[in-house]
Amino acid sequence: MATKTLHVNISGMTCVNCSNAVEKVTKKLPGVENVQVSFASSEGEFVYDTDKVSSEQIINKIKKLGYGVMKDTAALEAQKVKELTTLKYTLWLAMALSAGVMGLEKFMPFGAHNVWTVWVLASIAQFYAGARFYTHAYGALKNGSYDMNVLIALGTSAAYFYSVSVMLFGDAFPESMRFVYFDGAVMIIAFVLLGKYLEERSKAKATNTLKHLMDLSPKQARVLGEDATESMVGVEALRVGDVVIVKSGEAIPCDGKIIEGSAEIDTSMLTGESLPVHKKEGEDVVAGTISKAGYIKVRVGKPAHATMLASIVSLLSEAQNQKMPIGRFADKVSNIFVPTVMLISLVTLLGWWFFTGNVLFAFLASVSVLIISCPCALGLATPIAIVSAVGKGAKHGILIKNPEVLEILKSVKYAVFDKTGTLTKGEIAVSHSSVNDDALLGLIGCVEARSEHPISKAVVAHVQRLGVTLSHEVDAFEVLAGLGVQGKAGGHAVAVGSEAFLESLGVEVSKATKMLMQEAQRGAKGAIVAAVNGVEVGCFVLEDTLKEEAKEVIAYLKHQGITPVMLTGDHEATAKSVAEKLGIDLVYAEVLPHQKHAQIEAFQKEAKVLFVGDGINDSPSLKQADIGIALNSGSDIAKDAGDIVLVGNDLRMVKGALVLSRQTMRVIKQNLFWAFIYNILGIPLAAGLFYPWTGWLLTPMYAGMAMSVSSVTVVLNALRLKLLKI
């Protein structure tokens, strides 16, 4: 037996039921041993016995179900863009037709010809804009599934064909039954298409994450040959043991060890550490990090496909492949509701025909059952509430990319935060200084202003904040990577940097300054010393400042029974100091991206997890968490990976998102109640259950009225979200 694995990209799947259908049908093929189909990533993996079945047979089976099979990811992405564009135009068409039909039915500008115009417009909406519902309903029924597509196709068809019958053969109907319901049918199609479009757009944005992440890694590397010549090669061609050269401003192309030189490395994409790290001979570097200053030779330690950046991409891809808990109540109950309605309608038809012999009466009662069951309000219940919630969130800077998270936000038990840039501002600032003389500050500021290093910028900002003018000319300026800067300002020699740097210049650092620096380090802060003309003049204490609202948000979460957690790549002392100030009891420090990801998974074994972050290193965790919230100030990759983006970077909007979620779910449940209550009360009446004893029979006219009232009820209820205070 020869076993093979087939990987294919599948287009046209619109819901989890589609991926389930592909799995179910292909598993029945003889020789197919295992099938995994992901609706989220549109990928399918098929393990099969080549002696019993071929890859062509599997692909043909998928195509027969109505789905496309793309030869590569690029073709799949192109197809998705095309489908999303088509869906957008179909949505606009359906909305325009819906407005036209409703307007004509209300104002009747064409008199007796009005109904024919309405019929033409409604037919286009029913069979062109709504064609996807018929296609997928057919596929679902073929595989023994009853999803919303079946409900939509059944309900709108009942309303449409009844209306056509009244229009063509009105005299055959009793006067109380001569009504058309075209507007109800087209309105359902327009609103359900709106929900589908929002869902598909969210999925399309998610796939951009991997592309952006892959772009971080340089495509070429400068390799040093055995004859000391340099040549550019593709990173895929790098072999373990090769030596590459990395200059200032370049991204490191591989994971490896520095064998010569030193450099300031920006590792923020992996660790979240805001300060560049000084790396020297013997220390490890990773692909994708950037050499801010310096010249290094790196011996390649891993092939391109095994770098840490590649592993992050892999984690992200796996997280995307997981099936989302869509969990929409309407979809869950539709599997029971739809066949039940169909059965009741059939029983009504046969029952009245058998007992009365009146075929027309039996048919009208049967149609009344379908019309009162028409899922107008059911189709509106969830999308209209979500649209209101998304709009409300956007007004407050909460950009909800994936509306499905509104369903699970209310169940969160862990709120995990990255530190740098999330709970803190991610900006180094001088908290206090022992240099108080304006003249000295002016000299120091002028020299520091020549450097782009974040510490130098913090010192310059501090000096300018004190109102000191920077007017001196600077000569002989020099940056010593990992140590500090020096130069001549106004004829005075100025040096600013680490204690070791100044001592190497022959400067004697005072005991008072040393004690101040040691105290700063105990408080998880940094400090640098300054000297003018070879004499130490004092030090600057540096720290990453907390966001003003962070403490308030942590207190709110604790009050709600949600456990706040800090996950950071920063040093333990710094992390604990920040956590203590904010009231966070659970802290995990010095963790790398894959360790953050693993910790999120560990929390998920206990409960739902919310993760808030801003860096590239946070992207796997943002994707893995049940709800990923990214800050707008963060990287594009983090924003792509998050389900929600806080546009104003205000952490208080985490609280706002929780409030919005709870209220939205409450509205959706209320909407579903109002959508179903009319059906539950109306179906027995429409079926004529009480007719023999009371003479009560819900005619199609009253069935239509009940349908409209339920729709208006859910719309008005959803609009209440606009008044919500968050």
The residues annotated with a catalytic role in the active site are 418
Here the contacts of 464-473 (C-beta below 8 Å, separation 24 or greater) are: 466/438, 466/441, 468/438, 468/441, 468/442, 469/442, 470/442, 470/445, 470/446, 471/442, 471/446, 472/442, 472/443, 472/446, 473/446
Question: Is there a contact between 69 and 46 (Cβ–Cβ < 8 Å)?
Answer: no
Residue 466, exposed/middle/buried by CB under 10 A (0-12, 13-18, 19+)? middle
Q: What is the DSSP code string of 446-458? A: HHHTT---HHHHH
Task: Give the separation between CA 550 and CA 558, rounded to whole angstroms.
Answer: 13
Q: Pull the structure tokens for residue 589.
A: 């420090």
What letter would DSSP give residue 505?
Answer: T
Q: Is 356 left (phi over 0), alpha (psi -120 to 50) or beta?
A: alpha
CB 198 within 8 Å of CB 389: no
547 Ramachandran zone, left/alpha/beta (phi>0; psi -120 to 50): beta
Strands (E), 267-397: 277-279, 284-285, 290-300
Cα gap 643→399, rounded to integer Å: 9
Looking only at the bridges linking them, the beta strands covering 526-532 and 535-546 are antiparallel
Tokens of 185: 């049918």
Among left, alpha and beta (phi > 0; psi -120 to 50; other), residue 228 is left
Please state, as a whole number, how many other Cβ atoms lie within 10 Å of the Cβ of residue 488: 18
Give the C-alpha separation, 8 to 73, whole Å.
Answer: 9
- How many angstroms separate the CA atoms of 161 and 417, rounded? 55
Closest by CA to 62, choosing from 144, 143, 153, 152, is 143
CA distance 273 to 420: 7
From CA 642, how far away is CA 214, in angstroms rounded?
A: 17
Gap between the Cα atoms of 697 and 704, Å rounded: 13
Residue (of 548, 274, 542) closest to 432 by Cα position? 542
- The amino acid at residue 600 is I
Using the structure block, give the residue that is written with the tokens 């990759």: 637
The one-letter amino acid code at 197 reads Y
**Cβ pair 536, 497 in contact under 8 A:** no
Distance between CA 681 and CA 480 in Å, rounded?
A: 81
SS3 content of the chain, % helix, strand, coil (to 5): 55, 20, 25
Sign of the alpha-carbon dihedral angle for 320, 322, 328, 330: positive
Read off the DSSP letter of residue 133. H
Q: Which of 297, 267, 285 is nearest to 590 (CA)?
A: 267
Q: Would you say 267 and 279 are in contact if contact means Cβ atoms under 8 Å apart?
A: no
